[in-house]
Structure 1
Amino acid sequence: MAFVELEGVTRSVDLPDGGRLDILKGIDLKVEIGDHVSIVGRSGSGKSTLLNLLGLIDTPTSGRLEFDGTPLDKLSSGERDRTRGRDVGFIFQQFNLLPGRTALENVMTPLLYAPGEQFWKRQTRASEMLDRVGLGARLKSTPDQLSGGEQQRVAIARALVRGPRLILADEPTGALDVETGESVMRLLDSAAEASGAALITITHDPNVAAVARRHYRLDGGVLHQVAAAQVHGLAASGATL
């Protein structure tokens, strides 16, 4: 059974003029624990909307979405929030670190709402996670004292510290140079693999997509699977999907 499964999922919004905008159209997707899936799409293709559905932030207009075997429409808003906090880790392009807080404090933040041992051992867990991403010596550094690549590593540590089973990376290297971005993607892929989490990377960059093991393209709200050879070829040529 897939950990996350979408079947015939649509998402539409009503427009002020009485019309309707169809953002996602019949999305079918299955993601297993341990998968690394990339979804490539241009601006306006529906990537952010799909991310919100996968991360349990939003609900489909129609179709079926199951998370760990439970249909999304069977969860109350509070149950969705608790499931998201426990099982989903988000990594964003702009890092979203708290200014003036140290790397350690930033990574500890998700654990402030965790139950039991995770809360009481939050400093130890955050320190260990920062060490795993190569920042064991930068625990007391604030974001303005870190490079872009280091800030993204802090963001990765923060996303992983609660041991999520699904990691959603939204343009995770968009604010980084190419070399740093490639290093961050290798780190993210290996960290997700080590923890056994499913990783979904949403991007417009074939170089980022190429790190994944399954590849999709979102075009006009429709999701298509893409051959790995095509993605690697575009990454090598500098073209786009």
Structure 2
Amino acid sequence: MSLLELRDVTRTVIPPDQPALTILNGVDLTVEPGDRISIVGRSGSGKSTLLNLLGLLDMPTSGLLTFDDRPVKSYSGAARDRVRGAQIGFVFQQFNLLPGRTALENVAMPLLYAEGRSFWRRKQLAAEMLQEVGLGDRMESMPDRLSGGEQQRVAIARSLVRGPRLILADEPTGALDLDTGSSVMQLIDEVATRTGAALVTITHDPAIAARARDHFRLDRGVLTRADSDELAAASEAIS
């Protein structure tokens, strides 16, 4: 059973006083549990739009999008929100931490929307997740007292604290230096491996993309599989 699947998916928008604009065109992609997938593409290629579809934030204009082999169009908006909150974790380039909250409070935030034991144990779960990412001694620190790499680790802990089955990483190392970015990606991969989550990384960095097992290129809304040489060429063109 596929975790997430797109079949001949298109996404079209209609700007004010302009003709319809097709951003994604005939996209096919299957994400299985435990997959490691990278997608590279230049600015304007449709990466953000694709990420929104993978994260169930948007719906395709046409084609089939399924989660757990169930068409996403059959979910209500509230059901999509519940699936996204419980089963999909997002790691962004910008850390988006709440400035007036400690690292522990930031990580516990998603668990305010959990149910049962996860809700009542939210501080313990958040503390365990911070230990997992190597910040057990920084739980009471405010974001402005953390380095960029530490802030990204808090953001990763927050995205993973509910045990998502799918992790979507959008340029997760874009705001970090090379060494810190490499260690952050290793951390994401290690946690995903331990939990059995699938990891889809959208990046322009060939070194980051190469960490995945399956590589794709997105160009003018068309997604194609890329081998190592094509990936390097695409990444060089993007940079």
Normalised by the length of structure 2, the TM-score is: 0.96
**SS in structure 1 of the partner of residue 236 of structure 2:** coil
Partner of 1:220: 220
4+ aligned runs moved over 4 Å, structure 1: none
Segments of structure 1 that go 5 or more residues without pairing to the other structure are none
Task: Report SS of the residue matched to 1:64.
Answer: strand
**Structure 2 equivalent of residue 123 of structure 1:** 123
User: C-alpha separation between the residues in 2 aligned to 1:112 and 1:17?
Assistant: 42
The amino acid across from 1:120 in the alignment is W
Q: Separation in 2 of the partners of 1:59 and 1:115?
A: 26
When the two chains are superposed, the root-mean-square deviation of aligned CA atoms in Å is 1.4
Could you give the per-residue CA deviations for residues 27-75 of structure 1, whole angstroms, max 9, x where no partner exists? 0000101001011111110000000000000000000000011101111
Task: Indicate the SS of the match to 1:34.
Answer: coil
SS of the residue 1:185 aligns to: helix
* Structure 1 residue identity aligned to 2:103: A
Corresponding residue number in structure 2 for 1:39: 39
The residue number in structure 2 matching 1:181 is 181
What CA distance in whole angstroms lies between the structure 1 residues aligned with 2:176 and 2:237? Answer: 18
Q: 8 Å contact 1:126–1:161 — kept in the other structure?
A: yes
Question: How many Å apart are 1:205 and its aligned residue?
Answer: 1.4
What letter corresponds to residue 110 of structure 1 in structure 2?
P
Q: Structure 2 residue aligned with 1:239, among 217, 222, 236?
A: 236
Consecutive unaligned residues of structure 2, counting only runs of 5 or more, are none
Matched, 1:75 2:75: yes
> In 2, Cα distance between the equivalents of 1:224 and 1:133?
34
CA distance in 2 between counterparts of 1:211 and 1:89 reads 19
Distance 2:15 2:197 in 1: 38
SS at match of 2:125: helix
SS at the partner of 1:239? helix
- Tell me the residue number matched to 1:202: 202
Distance 1:116 1:209 in 2: 38
Distance 1:234 1:21, change over 3 A: closer
CA distance in 2, matches of 1:240, 1:168: 24
Which secondary structure state, in structure 2, belongs to the residue aligned with residue 5 of structure 1?
Answer: strand
**Deviation by residue 1:156-206 (Cα, 9 ceiling, x = unmatched):** 100110000011111100000111111101111111111100111111211
How much does 1:78 deviate? Answer: 0.8
How far apart in 1 are the matches of 2:124 and 2:17? 54
Deviation of the 1:230 alpha carbon = 4.5
Residue identity over aligned pairs, in percent, reads: 64
TM-score, normalised with respect to structure 1: 0.95
Other-structure match for 2:60 = 60
**In structure 2, how many angstroms separate the alpha carbons of the residues matched to 1:100 and 1:18?**
42
| Local SS of the residue matching 1:22 | strand
Question: Using a 3 Å threshold, how does the CA distance of structure 1 residues 182 and 240 change in structure 2: closer, same or farther?
Answer: farther
